[in-house]
Amino acid sequence: MFRNALRQSTRAVGAVSAAGRVAAVRNAAPASINAARFYASDAKATPTEVSSILEQRIRGVQEESGLAETGRVLSVGDGIARVHGMANVQAEELVEFASGVKGMCMNLEAGQVGVVLFGSDRLVKEGETVKRTGEIVDVPVGPEMLGRVVDALGNPIDGKGPINTKEKRRAQLKAPGILPRKSVNEPVQTGLKSIDAMVPIGRGQRELIIGDRQTGKTAVGLDTILNQKRWNDGQDEKKKLYCIYVAVGQKRSTVAQLVKTLEENDAMKYSIVVAATASEAAPLQYLAPFTGASIVIHPLQSARAIPGNAILPGALPLIPSFLTESFRHMLQSLILLSSSVDL
């Protein structure tokens, strides 16, 4: 009996405490609900405030479209890739492969595009994605190029840091007409008496230096560059001659030795070296002379440029005649020396 009475009393106490908690919750609920309603009424924004907030959010949104016309590689070999797609691509437009290799569109055919690669074709695989850049192949130009060694795309390869040029120009330019040209009326002193006395070269004249291996073809061009130091050290801008040496298909050691000779004689300050060595891809060797020509033509747009000359000594079976015509006799202060593989 005692145990039964204890159990009943315990149940009664528990029921009373549970009823008390329920009553407390019921009494507290209206207070919390009223507080929440009061807070919501205070936090409610007016339509004007909402519209202003939305306007600020909309103005802060910056939309950027990342759409690019792409294609796929059908075949690749010998430095050339056949790409399907890119129906709106332009001639000489720069394209980029998924592997990071860049190329230039040359052959625009129905259904496919022929792209020359500016890198190893071993890195490009069939089925790889190619995307347009929307940019025509161009090279940096300007007085900042003086004293530097660049590749066929105008990228510095001399380890002296980037070239901060203010302008770029297309690598392949159309030859100017007849009216902008000027007659040859001023000689170029090569420093070689046999040439200056017997077969003088004028500013605006093209000259070919041809010969067998190890006969001094490069030495003639190098001596011509070094001989311009006396005029480039002067103050008369009309007498200064800026020299551009385009090395096509030469060994890296040969180009390095040439640059060293120019630096030792303080001739790099008025010279530019464009190098497409034997280890470079064939399209880069093809493009190097065009890059040199683009750098030559640039001073036409400067304030101190005077129509005058460009000279092309060198064995250049790779360069068509229209390239030499594009910068022939247009600048008074430039010499372009191009060197190719020995004939």
pLDDT at 334 over 60: no
Give the mean pLDDT of 63-80. Answer: 79
Report yes or no: 135 and 91 within 8 Å, Cβ to Cβ: no
Query: Which residue is associated with the tokens 């030499």?
Result: 324
Angle at 265 between CA 260 and CA 268, to 5 degrees: 65
pLDDT tens string 256-302: 999 999 999 999 999 999 999 888 888 888 888 888 888 876 554 44
List domains and CATH numbers for the chain.
70-136 (2.40.30.20), 139-339 (3.40.50.300)
Q: What is the pLDDT of residue 182?
A: 72
Q: Most distant CA pair in the chain: distance in Å?
A: 145
pLDDT band at 81 (very low <50, low <70, confident <90, very high): very high
Which residue from 320, 266, 261, 323 is spatially nearest to 292, judged by alpha carbons?
Answer: 323
pLDDT band at 63 (very low <50, low <70, confident <90, very high): low
pLDDT band at 230 (very low <50, low <70, confident <90, very high): confident
Torsion of CA 126, 131, 133, 135, to 10 degrees: 50
pLDDT tens string 187-208: 888 888 888 888 888 877 778 8
Terminus-to-terminus CA distance in the chain, angstroms?
A: 127
**Alpha-carbon gap, residue 339 to 343, rounded angstroms:** 11
Q: How far is CA 202 from CA 196, 295, 312, in A?
A: 10, 20, 11
pLDDT band at 231 (very low <50, low <70, confident <90, very high): confident
Report yes or no: 83 and 115 within 8 Å, Cβ to Cβ: yes
Is-above-0.75 flag for pTM? no
In one-letter notation, the amino acid at residue 202 is G
Task: Compare 97 and 14 and report the one with higher pLDDT.
Answer: 97
Give the mean pLDDT of 152-164. Answer: 90
- pLDDT averaged over every residue in the chain: 75
Q: What is the pLDDT of residue 312?
A: 38
pLDDT at 46 over 80: no
Report yes or no: 81 and 117 within 8 Å, Cβ to Cβ: yes
In one-letter notation, the amino acid at residue 149 is V
